[in-house]
Amino acid sequence: MKTMPPDFDQQANRLPDPRSEDFTSELRRRLVAAGRLDELAARRAERASEQSNERLDIVLSRLGLVSETVLCETISGILNIPCVADDAWPVRPLYSDIIPHTFLAANHIVLLAEAEDRLDVAVADPFRADALDALSFQVEKSLNLHMAPPGAIERCLERLHGRNASPQQSSEPAAEPSDDAGTEDVRRLEDLASEAPVIRLVHDIIQRAVESRASDIHVEPRDDCVAVRYRIDGALQTTETLPVNLRAALTSRIKIMARINIAERRLPQDGRIRFTARGREIDLRVSTMPTMTGESIVLRILDRESIPLEFQQLGFTGAEREGFEQLLAEPNGIILVTGPTGSGKSTTLYTALKSLNRADRKLFTVEDPIEYRLAGVNQIAVNPKIGLTFASTLRSILRQDPDIIMVGEIRDLETAEIAIRASLTGHLVLSTIHTNSAAATITRLLDMGVEDYLLASSLKGVLAQRLVRTVCPSCATHDQPSAVETERIRRLAGDVNAAAPVNLRSAHGCENCQGTGYRGRTAVYELLTVNSSVRDTMASGAPDSRIEAAAVSSGMTTLLQNGMAKVMSGETTLQEVLRVTRAADAALPL
């Protein structure tokens, strides 16, 4: 007759009651001290725990206040149970003849390795004494516990046992529904997407992205897997690869959350998700695109609380900030912000609107889509399907007695002309446009067909910008450039930075920056103010190179020069500045 190995029984008896005041207080204290949970969210979770009679750690995970990984690491520290090492996961199942995989999946247990009298196991919940007792009894060995997040255990079980490891998994790729999905296909997709493991998987992907400060999540189907990549500080990083058989369930779950057609796989679709992460509401803009291997999905993370709406925090230096604020003080006219996609144009405009928003003014925005909500501002999302375009909305806004109007983007001549005419009738108009430099914005509008006299009399200024990664403060070191390097840097920096000291820094990567050497981003700018010299050059039909020369002679600092000032102060690196400014300054010698 089997007897219970004593070691596990003693280990289980040493664990505290997870509902006890001592355990919950210590869990709360550690999470708050580590900055993983704020006091308001902690109180909210404690109230929910009392009302639902659930353990605090379970409530924290369910509400999305703390990620599974952080909970696992914190509880591991409290209980002094090690987390599973990356190289400790098994390559083949153990005891599959006597331990059903359904038991392991239901209790989130993975058998890691065995010794003569001991079995190493990974558990998501070390407090499930009944399941662990039963396992120890069945294998006739004491258990040596390790902890791992539920998602990691599920992925390991899927790899070892296939479909039967958890409800949504399959050892073979699931048959993709046809393009013309019928009722049964749709019902099957909904069933896949509603199962607990895939819900947790999507939740964890989003949660980790928010905690990593990612701006976008890319879910990319490939022939043999599904790649998940985060864009952090402007660079894409592969975070995990999932089995290809999860493709349908993962895609369907995201579509359901975004409230878009789950059955439509032939056309691109757009949607939006409201998600709670660490106690705050976050919006995600969802875009799907059909490809040969399945639907590619990109989720843009719109976290208003993480966006600094202060000019100094955006990277404005004294001269650019003063000049831009002077433009914003104009009673009328048009001010444009230019740069490629992802260069921070919208954030700059939102910061400008925040600074302009006063009780005696009426502000309107026309956006596609609305990225962040601003209190006291009338924000309108365009909808071309019903005829609500930038141009038509702008016409209607002019009948609403506005003071300041922000147009998300000038895409065509009609929108440009209405915006310019609005600026000539006593309104301040802010907008964006896609060009490589501030001067190129002027020639772009003229090429669109805008009359030169209208542009010259309405345009107050153009702000061009790029985002560069900043050196990680945790692993930064000071560099001593050679005489040749110093000369090169000063040549690139130009006369405007001639008196500035060269204080270079670089970083070689650490845990805080995921080994990249960079953490966070700042902007580099060039501000073209339309004065009489620039206006005369515009009127002569000159190319953008001559317009830029006129602006520089009037005191404009170029993108490269502004970026080089941040290189010389050690805020970023020469490589970063050249990466984002080379298109505008390709003619400069290197």
Q: Residue 185: pLDDT band by 50, 70, 90 thresholds? A: low
Find the angle CA(458)-CA(464)-CA(468) to the nearest 5 degrees.
165
pLDDT (tens digit per residue) in 268-296: 999 999 887 766 778 899 999 999 999 99
Q: Name residue 81's beta-bridge partners.
A: none
DSSP conformational letter for 319: H
- Mean pLDDT within 168-172: 40
pLDDT bucket at 191, cuts 50 / 70 / 90: low
- Residue 6: per-residue pLDDT: 42
Contact call for residues 140 and 16 (beta carbons, < 8 A): no
Where does the pLDDT of residue 588 fall: very low under 50, low under 70, confident under 90, or very high at 90 and above? very low
Domain regions of the chain by residue span: 21-158, 190-302, 311-581
Question: If residue 573 lies in a helix (H) or strand (E), which one and from where to where?
Answer: none
Contact 477, 506 (CB under 8 A): yes
Q: Are strands 280-291 and 428-433 parallel, antiparallel or unpaired?
A: unpaired
Helix, strand or coil, per DSSP, at residue 143: strand
Q: Which residue, among 487, 519, 517, 522, has the nearest Cα to 502 in the 3D structure?
A: 487
**How far is 473 from 84, CA to CA, in rounded Å?**
30
Strand 459-471 and strand 333-338: the pairing is: parallel
The DSSP element (H or E) to which 76 belongs, if any, is helix 68-79
Report the mean per-residue pLDDT for the chain: 85
pLDDT of residue 11: 53
pLDDT at 119 exceeding the cut of 50: yes
Q: For residues 258 and 518, what is the distance between their CA atoms, to the nearest angstrom?
A: 32
Model pLDDT, residue 4: 41
Per-residue pLDDT tens over the stretch 317-346: 888 899 999 999 999 999 999 999 889 999
Q: What are 390's two structure tokens?
A: 């930038």
If we measure between CA atoms, which residue out of 425, 462, 429 comes closest to residue 547? 462
C-alpha torsion angle, residues 364, 367, 370, 374 (rounded to 10): -20
CB atoms within 10 A of CB 145: 19
Q: In 3-state terms, what secondary structure has residue 229? A: strand
What value does the mean pLDDT take over residues 207-222? 91
CA 331/CA 426 separation, integer angstroms: 7
pLDDT attached to residue 279: 67
Instruction: Specify the CATH superfamily of domain 21-158.
Output: Type II secretion system, protein E, N-terminal domain (3.30.300.160)
Beta-bridge mates of residue 527: 463
Report pLDDT digits (tens) over 543-559: 999 999 999 999 999 99
Distance of alpha carbon 283 from alpha carbon 300, whole angstroms: 8
Cis peptide leading into 369, omega within 30 of 0? yes
Q: Which two tokens stand for residue 81?
A: 């149970």
The distance of Cα 345 from the centroid of its chain, to the nearest Å, equals 16
pLDDT 10s digits, 121-131: 999 999 988 88
pLDDT of residue 193 exceeding 70: no
pLDDT for res 364:
97
DSSP string for residues in 405-455: EEES---SHHHHHHHHHHHHTT-EEEEEE--SSHHHHHHHHHHHT--HHHH
**Which residues have C-beta within 8 Å of that of residue 247, sequence separation ≥ 6?**
173, 174, 176, 221, 226, 294
Secondary structure (DSSP) of 528-556: EE--HHHHHHHHTT--HHHHHHHHHHTTP
Question: Does this chain's domain 190-302 share its CATH topology with 311-581?
Answer: no
Q: What is the DSSP letter of 383?
A: B
Q: Is the pLDDT of residue 462 over 90?
A: yes
Q: How many residues does the chain have?
A: 590
Residue 47: its pLDDT value, please? Answer: 84
Residue 548: which residues within 8 A CB-CB, separation 6 or more? Answer: 437, 438, 439, 528, 556, 558
pLDDT higher than 70, residue 396: yes
User: What is the model's pLDDT at position 213?
Assistant: 87
Nearest to 349 by CA among 357, 483, 146: 357
CB 469 within 8 Å of CB 233: yes
DSSP 8-state assignment for residue 388: B
* b/e 96-113 (16+ beta carbons within 10 angstroms → b): eeebebeebbebbbbbbe
Q: What is the pLDDT of residue 2?
A: 45
| Least trusted range by pLDDT, from 165-179, 205-219, 267-281 | 165-179
Distances (CA, A) of 120 to 12, 137, 147, 166, 216: 15, 14, 11, 22, 38
Mean predicted confidence (pLDDT) in 38-53: 83
Would you place residue 53 in the very low, low, confident or very high pLDDT band (cuts 50, 70, 90)?
Answer: confident
The one-letter code for the residue type at 421 is R
Q: What is the mean pLDDT of residues 376-391?
A: 90
For residue 408, pLDDT beyond 50: yes
Question: At 140, is the pLDDT very low, low, confident or very high (cuts 50, 70, 90)?
Answer: confident
Higher pLDDT, 32 or 587: 32
Superfamily of structural domain 311-581:
P-loop containing nucleotide triphosphate hydrolases (3.40.50.300)
166 pLDDT higher than 60: no
Distance from the first to the final alpha carbon of the chain: 81
CATH code that applies to domain 190-302: 3.30.450.90
DSSP 498: T
Q: What is the pLDDT of residue 194?
A: 58
Asked if the model's pLDDT at residue 174 lies above 80, the reply is: no
Q: What is the 3-state secondary structure (H, E, C) of 460-479?
A: EEEEEEEEEEEECCCCEEEE
For 227-264, the pLDDT digits (tens) are: 999 999 988 998 888 888 888 889 999 998 999 988 88
Is residue 168 pLDDT above 60, yes or no? no
Q: Both tokens of residue 300? A: 């843009």
DSSP letter, residue 178: P
Work out the number of other CB atoms within 10 angstroms of the CB of residue 331.
8
Q: At residue 186, does pLDDT exceed 90?
A: no
Position 107 confidence tier, pLDDT thresholds 50, 70, 90: confident
Bigger pLDDT: 11 vs 315: 315
